[in-house]
């Protein structure tokens, strides 16, 4: 569905702000995934970006739960910027067991299963292992920062990272940013304002690829807390945290 619609003109609607977009394809992909998975696992719970936007409760329990973003990188999808994907995470006892992130435009399929490693198109992937901040390539997105003080805080953080790292990129998909760290193409990624459906699959892919995950303040990662820091090594996370002032968002 995403591939077919990718180069077509889309019917775009806005949600929380003029830059928070949704298309017919986001909704169709989510409906299709929910109904297909439900046929096989009728007792499982589901959290999805578009169902939550439409008023469904975003409540994560210990029960088997599928957390789905039908299109992560919707703005990219609308603009035909080719970093857009489906993100599917499966959690039990709030712990990610399976992660699948598929970019249908570039045909890259990232997968991971707890204890079984992480893969891109069936090839095993691993983080770079970089632990030297001055040699690190970072991915940092402005994300949902909209208030002036949050944007200022974000760019102050960027100013510090720019002085201490090799470079900064932004690609507009949290899930694919996490995959780029998992396969060693980037050494770290963090963002404020993302949601559990942006992170659920990426968490296990990064974990199984040997990466480090935490909150941007170095705390234990909680995917309901609207931010994450993923790095190729614990040392890099510790060094980066010193340069990060936190932007707060209400929990999912």
Catalytic residues: 49, 69, 71-72, 74, 198
**Cβ 134 to ligand IPD shortest distance, Å:** 26
How far is residue 236's CA from residue 39's CA, in Å, rounded to a whole number?
Answer: 43
Least distance from C-beta 87 to Ca ion, angstroms? Answer: 8
Q: Choose, by CB under 6 A, the member of 30, 88, 131, 141 that binds ligand IPD.
A: 141
- Residue 69 touches Ca ion, criterion: CB under 5 A: yes
DSSP string, 107-127: TEEEEEETTS-EEETTEE---
Q: Which stretch binds ligand IPD (CB under 6 A): 97-105, 140-148, 155-163, 211-219?
A: 140-148
The DSSP code sequence of 185-224 is SSSEEEEES--HHHHHHHHHHHHHTT-EEE-TTSSPP-TT
Instruction: Choose among ligand IPD, Ca ion, none what residue 186 binds, the Cβ cut-off being 5 to 8 Å by kind.
Output: none
Selected range binding Ca ion among 70-78, 87-95, 114-122, 232-240, rule: CB under 5 A: 70-78
Helix (H) or strand (E) holding 85, with range, is: strand 85-92
Q: Give the end-to-end CA distance of the chain in Å, rounded to a whole number.
A: 28
Which partner in ligand IPD, Ca ion, none is near 150 (CB below 5 to 8 A by kind)?
Answer: none
Comparing CB distances to Ca ion, the nearer of 69 and 187 is 69
Q: Which of residues 181-220 bind ligand IPD (CB under 6 A)?
A: 191, 193-194, 198
Under the criterion CB under 5 A, does residue 49 sit at the interface with Ca ion? yes
Task: Say if residues 65 and 59 touch (Cβ distance below 8 Å).
Answer: no
Residues 54 and 77: beta-carbon distance below 8 Å: no
**Token code pair at residue 211:** 């990466």
Q: Please report where in the chains the tokens 């999912």 appear, as a residue.
A: 252
User: Where does this chain bind Ca ion (CB under 5 A)?
Assistant: 49, 69, 71, 74
User: Where does this chain bind ligand IPD (CB under 6 A)?
Assistant: 49, 69, 72-74, 141, 143-144, 172-174, 191, 193-194, 198
């Amino acid at each position: 569905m995403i591939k077919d619609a990718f180069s077509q003109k889309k019917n775009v609607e806005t949600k929380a702000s003029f830059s928070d977009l949704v298309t017919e394809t986001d909704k169709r992909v989510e409906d299709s995934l929910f109904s297909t998975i439900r046929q096989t696992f009728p007792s499982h719970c589901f959290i999805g970006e578009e169902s939550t936007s439409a008023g469904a409760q975003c409540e994560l329990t210990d029960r088997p739960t599928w957390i789905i973003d039908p299109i992560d990188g919707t703005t990219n999808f609308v603009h035909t910027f080719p970093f857009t994907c489906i993100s599917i995470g499966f959690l039990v006892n709030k712990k990610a067991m399976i992660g699948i992130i598929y970019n249908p435009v570039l045909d890259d399929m990232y997968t991971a299963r707890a204890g079984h490693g992480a893969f891109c198109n069936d090839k095993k992937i691993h983080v770079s292992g970089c632990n030297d901040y001055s040699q690190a390539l970072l991915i940092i997105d402005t994300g949902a920062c909209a208030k002036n003080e949050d944007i200022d805080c974000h760019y102050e953080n960027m100013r510090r990272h720019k002085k201490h790292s090799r470079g900064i990129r932004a690609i507009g998909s949290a899930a694919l940013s996490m995959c780029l760290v998992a396969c060693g193409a980037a050494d770290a990624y963090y963002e404020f304002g993302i949601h559990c459906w942006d992170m659920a699959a990426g968490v296990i892919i990064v974990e199984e690829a040997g990466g480090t995950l935490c909150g941007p303040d170095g705390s234990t990662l909680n995917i309901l807390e609207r931010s994450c820091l993923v790095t190729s090594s614990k040392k890099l996370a510790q060094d980066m945290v010193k340069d990060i002032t936190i932007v707060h968002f209400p929990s999912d």
